[in-house]
Each structure stands twice: as structure tokens, then as C-alpha cells.
């Protein structure tokens, strides 16, 4: 009856739960699920049934929140935030350093749960843990650099003192998608709490349990439970309620929903950051190391079964290396192991849901019906898992096909040949998006120069996305319809603060004194401005 997992042993076939579904053998132990869902602010008595893409079996019935529950979550968060903001930066940073270690210590439990909810390959789930640990450590170690009050030059040296404070916004609403259940649940919240904010989080319905486990680990690390509230429910209703109540919104998801969120935030005059979709281009230049580029393309395109905002869906290859590159890329792709499984043997995991499978299948069928050629892949693989789709390489994709300019968000890439680099850059910049790009060349300087001409928030030279995504000091986000604002780096934390300038004037006012007339005062002021300019001050 019980199925041993590679991980913690927490997550084995649990007892049947007759109250929920008498026919089903639940994949997760009921007590384990309950210990997570009790963290939700959810009092409607309604639940949402969630199944696993690994085998399609039931995972849990997740309690649902009402708008009144969202009110309650905000009330608790506001109260907790006032006290949390009074703690020192060192106290908050220390909690994040503990979180770093807890994430690494508990990685098996986290990875298992991520896989049960998302169906991804174990290596992709591990990268979530690693990225989050890196995020916690980066912000903990740079907390003072970002958050300390800084002195700036006052209007008059000695007489005017000016400083800039970073004040927390208050309660931040975080709305996250399903594709990286752990990273997306927590990576944007880490800088928010470090800056002294509280959070109300609404994860995607498919991946609520991982988000709840993340919240539990945050509490174990020392962030008070009330500082991090989690609600669950339909996006428009519960996510919309966050937009109506938060002091700032951090949204990750589709461009269509991002547009709605932006309108809601504009209405309330609150800030938001929007991490949205992409149709990311990879350029293989004529001087690229073809074997390395082909190996890189496999990761660039098929990591997380293509359900990765920064993965590549358009591949532009120089004429001179096209045939060699395509041979190497196709053969490496065909050697990949596929499946929906908890063990390390899988190179590419499952798609997360029927709806993702439908979109991917529709894009490929549409392209093929309009004349595209399938070099490898092209089909669902129900024999390997309910939502597994083969890694697919297309040639001959044209503008009237769905997958030409629309995000597929699956393991499908279109190959294009180019003759001239200027033309390649122009085609890479075509379309509405501008999230991530990748350039392959033996000449790093040339690669970086080309990068400046590509309209994307991140560009990776001789890498797919990891060189920027893993460098936490480097901001990450989209240009054009791929987003507004940035996560990571200084921008990733300063978005959660209000900038407050405090000026202190000493000894003399910035006004005429000792009975001096306004005219005389203006002359004196002009002389001192000239003097300061000569001295190179202010």
C-alpha cells in the first residue's frame, strides 16, 4: 500500500480519507496535509481538489478563502508588521541565514512535495531549493547595504544635513504562479520581510501545499507566523482582493493577468512589480562552440519541461554552423529521459496539468498543419505520465503559426537560420516580449556587445538563464510586455520600501537673516553657489 519516496518518508501513500473521496488512495498523508493547510486563513468550509501530475492521483482538498478571510489575513499582517518593522535589520537578516540552512537541510521533503504538485524532474525541483537558499543568503548578507540610512550632500556643507531612509511599505501582496512552486512562493517575499514588511501570499491553486511548507520553514527560521499570511482561492476573486488591500503588489504570472493587476494598482495608486511572460530568443553565432551550444540549448529549452519564464522558445542559428548545431541538438534531445517520477533519473519531467498539455499540443498541431516540420518529438506520452509531452524541435515555423510569437510555455522550440547578425538581433527583438535572451560565441566581448542591442531584461552569454538568475546581485525582470520592475539585486528589495528624505538645517535658516533684504540674500546665495561650484562640492 505505501509507496516509498526518495525523500523524507513523510510523503507516502496515506490512509484513504473516506470523508474526502472514498475511491482515492491519497498520495500524501492526511495528517501531513492538515499540518500544512491549517496555516491558511480559510473559513468558507469549501475545498479545492488537487491531483498530482505524477500518476494523476489525488493530493489534497485545499481549504478555500473568502474575501472576508483576506480581510482577516490583512488585519493580522498589519498588526504583526508594526512590531516586525521595529526589529533590527540584524535580527531579520539572521532569520534569513537560518532559512538558508533549513532549506538545504529539508531539501528532500521540499523536493518531494514540489514534484508531487508539479510533476517536474527532480533536478529542476532541486534548483528551486538552491535558488531560494542563494536568495536568502544574498539578501541577508547585503541587508545593511540596501536598507541602512544613507547620508547625501546637504544643500550647504556643515549647515544642512540630509539623509535618506528606507521605510517599509507595510503589507505586501504576493501573487504567484505554479511553475516554480517553491521559488515563486518565497523568493520575492524574502526581501519584503527583510525590509520590515509583512506579506499576504496567494499561491496558485495547484501548488498551495509547497507554498505552505515554505511558510512553515520561514517561521522555523524566526519570522513570526503572523508576518506571513497565506490565502487560497480563485485568482480573480482572492488575488483581486489582495490588489484591493495591499500596500504593494508583487505579481508573477501571465501578461494578460499582469495587465489586470496593473490596472487595479493604478486605481489605488499603489506600486507593483510584474514578472510576466516571454518568447525568449537564443542566438548561436558563427564562432560558437557548437557542441557546448547544443548542450546549452537542451537546458535552455527543456528545463522544467519548458514551463520556465526564462526558457528559450526561439533559436536563431548562424548559417555557417546551422547543420552541425541542429544535428547535435536533435541527438542530445533524443537522448533525454522523460517521465513523471520522484527519482533523479528523469531529464525532463511532466507538464503540470491538462490545460498545459492542451496548449502545447495545440501549438504543435497548429504549426504542423500549416507546414512546420518536426525534427524530433511532437507528441504527448500518456504511457509515461498523464501530462508528459515529448521535447519538440520545429523547423519552418512562420508568422501565421500560433507558436511563432505566442508563449507556448512548454518543451517546444522553433529553429531559424540567419545570415547576418544584425538581422538576427532584429528578429530576436521582434514581438511583444523582452524577458531573457541567450547568446553563444567564443568571443565574450562580442557576446556582451551584442547583448546590449537585445531588448531583454536579462541576457546570458554562453549560458541559457543561470548566469543571471543565479547571480542574485543582478536584477531580473522583463522589458516591454514581459514586465515592470525587477526581482533580485538592489531593485528587488528597494521596491518594498518607501524612500524618505530627512533634512536637518543647522545654525542658519535657508532664508534671509540678520535683517538682510531678499535682494541681498539672493546675491549672497549666488556667490556661495558659485564658490561651491568652484570647490566641486554639492
Applying CB under 6 A, the residues found at the interface with ligand NAD are: 175-179, 184, 202, 204, 235-236, 239-240, 252-254, 257, 260-261, 275-278, 309, 407, 409, 435, 478, 483
Report the distance separating Cα 528 and Cα 532, nearest Å: 6
Helices (H), 289-420: 290-302, 319-334, 354-369, 402-405
CB of 234 to ligand NAD, least distance (A): 7
Please count the other Cβ atoms lying within 10 Å of the Cβ belonging to residue 282: 26
For cell 517536474, the residue is 120
CB of 335 to ligand NAD, least distance (A): 27
| Residue ranges of E strands in 351-441 | 373-376, 392-395, 412-418, 436-440
Nearer to ligand NAD, 40 or 375 (CB): 40
CB of 209 to ligand NAD, least distance (A): 14
Nearer to ligand NAD, 117 or 407 (CB): 407
Nearer to ligand NAD, 88 or 355 (CB): 355
CB 48 within 8 A of CB 209: no
**From 109, 117, 128, 275, the catalytic residue:** 275
CB of 252 to ligand NAD, least distance (A): 5
Bridge-partner residues for 228, per DSSP?
199
The vertex-272 CA angle with 267 and 275, nearest 5°, equals 130
CB of 406 to ligand NAD, least distance (A): 10
Q: Which residues fall within 8 angstroms of residue 295, CB to CB, at 6 or more apart?
A: 328, 332
CB of 206 to ligand NAD, least distance (A): 8
Report the distance separating Cα 292 and Cα 254, nearest Å: 31
Check if 275 is active-site. Answer: yes
Report the distance separating Cα 30 and Cα 128, nearest Å: 25
Nearer to ligand NAD, 60 or 95 (CB): 60
CB of 356 to ligand NAD, least distance (A): 8
Nearer to ligand NAD, 179 or 441 (CB): 179
Nearer to ligand NAD, 109 or 313 (CB): 313
Query: Residue by residue, what is the 3-state secondary structure of 136-193?
Result: HHHHHHCHHHHHCCEEECCCCCCCEEEEEEEEECCEEEEECCCCCCCHHHHCCHHHHH
Nearer to ligand NAD, 341 or 460 (CB): 460
Q: How far is CA 211 from CA 44, 292, 520, in A?
A: 20, 36, 66
For cell 537564443, the residue is 282
- Rounded to the nearest 5 percent, the helix, strand and coil shares of the chain are 45, 20, 40
Provide the annotated active-site residues.
275
Amino acid at each position: 500500500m505505501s509507496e516509498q519516496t526518495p525523500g523524507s518518508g513523510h510523503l507516502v501513500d496515506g490512509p484513504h480519507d473516506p470523508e474526502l473521496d472514498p475511491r482515492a488512495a491519497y498520495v500524501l498523508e492526511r495528517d501531513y496535509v492538515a499540518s500544512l493547510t491549517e496555516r491558511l486563513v480559510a473559513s468558507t468550509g469549501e475545498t479545492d481538489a488537487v491531483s498530482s501530475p505524477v500518476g494523476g492521483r489525488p493530493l489534497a482538498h485545499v481549504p478555500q478563502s473568502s474575501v472576508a478571510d483576506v480581510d482577516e489575513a490583512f488585519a493580522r499582517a498589519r498588526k504583526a508588521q508594526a512590531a516586525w518593522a521595529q526589529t533590527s535589520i540584524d535580527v531579520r537578516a539572521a532569520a534569513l541565514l537560518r532559512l538558508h540552512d533549513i532549506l538545504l537541510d529539508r531539501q528532500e521533503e521540499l523536493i518531494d512535495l514540489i514534484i508531487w504538485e508539479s510533476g517536474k524532474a527532480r533536478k529542476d525541483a532541486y534548483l528551486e531549493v538552491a535558488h531560494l537558499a542563494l536568495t536568502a543568503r544574498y539578501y541577508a548578507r547585503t541587508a545593511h547595504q540596501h536598507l541602512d540610512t544613507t547620508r547625501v550632500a546637504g544643500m550647504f556643507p556643515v549647515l544642512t544635513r540630509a539623509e535618506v531612509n528606507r521605510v517599509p511599505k507595510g503589507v505586501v501582496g504576493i501573487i504567484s504562479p505554479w511553475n516554480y512552486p517553491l521559488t515563486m512562493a518565497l523568493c520575492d517575499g524574502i526581501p519584503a520581510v527583510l525590509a520590515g514588511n509583512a506579506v499576504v501570499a496567494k499561491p496558485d491553486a495547484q501548488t498551495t501545499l509547497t507554498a505552505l511548507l515554505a511558510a512553515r520553514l520561514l517561521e522555523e527560521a524566526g519570522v513570526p507566523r503572523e508576518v506571513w499570511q497565506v490565502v487560497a482561492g480563485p485568482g480573480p476573486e482572492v488575488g483581486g482582493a489582495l490588489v484591493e488591500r495591499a500596500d504593494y503588489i508583487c505579481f508573477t504570472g501571465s501578461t494578460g493577468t499582469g495587465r489586470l493587476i496593473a490596472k487595479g494598482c493604478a486605481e489605488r495608486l499603489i506600486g507593483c512589480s510584474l514578472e510576466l511572460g516571454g518568447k525568449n530568443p537564443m542566438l548561436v553565432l558563427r564562432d560558437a562552440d557548437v557542441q557546448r551550444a547544443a548542450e546549452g540549448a537542451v537546458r535552455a529549452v527543456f528545463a522544467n519541461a519548458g514551463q520556465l519564464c526564462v526558457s528559450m522558445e526561439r533559436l536563431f542559428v548562424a548559417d555557417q554552423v546551422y547543420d552541425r548545431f541542429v544535428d547535435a541538438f536533435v541527438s542530445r534531445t533524443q537522448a533525454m529521459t522523460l517521465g513523471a517520477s520522484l527519482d533523479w533519473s528523469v531529464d525532463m519531467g511532466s507538464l503540470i496539468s491538462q490545460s498545459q498539455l492542451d496548449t502545447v499540443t495545440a501549438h504543435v498541431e497548429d504549426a504542423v498543419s500549416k507546414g512546420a516540420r518536426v525534427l524530433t518529438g511532437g507528441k504527448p506520452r500518456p504511457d509515461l505520465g498523464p501530462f508528459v509531452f515529448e521535447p519538440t524541435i520545429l523547423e519552418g515555423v512562420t508568422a501565421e503559426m500560433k507558436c511563432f510569437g505566442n508563449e507556448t510555455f512548454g518543451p517546444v522550440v522553433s529553429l531559424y537560420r540567419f545570415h547576418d547578425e544584425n538581422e538576427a538581433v532584429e528578429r530576436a527583438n521582434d514581438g511583444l516580449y523582452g524577458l531573457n535572451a541567450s547568446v553563444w560565441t567564443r568571443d565574450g566581448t562580442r557576446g556582451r556587445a551584442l547583448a546590449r542591442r537585445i531588448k531583454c531584461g536579462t541576457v546570458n552569454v554562453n549560458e541559457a538563464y543561470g548566469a543571471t538568475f543565479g547571480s542574485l546581485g543582478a536584477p531580473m525582470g522583463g522589458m516591454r510586455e514581459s514586465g515592470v520592475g525587477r526581482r533580485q539585486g538592489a531593485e528587488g528589495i528597494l521596491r518594498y520600501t518607501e524612500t524618505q528624505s530627512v533634512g536637518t538645517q543647522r545654525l542658519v535658516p535657508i532664508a534671509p537673516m540678520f535683517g538682510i533684504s531678499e535682494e541681498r540674500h539672493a546675491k549672497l546665495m549666488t556667490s556661495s553657489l558659485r564658490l561651491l561650484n568652484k570647490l566641486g562640492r554639492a
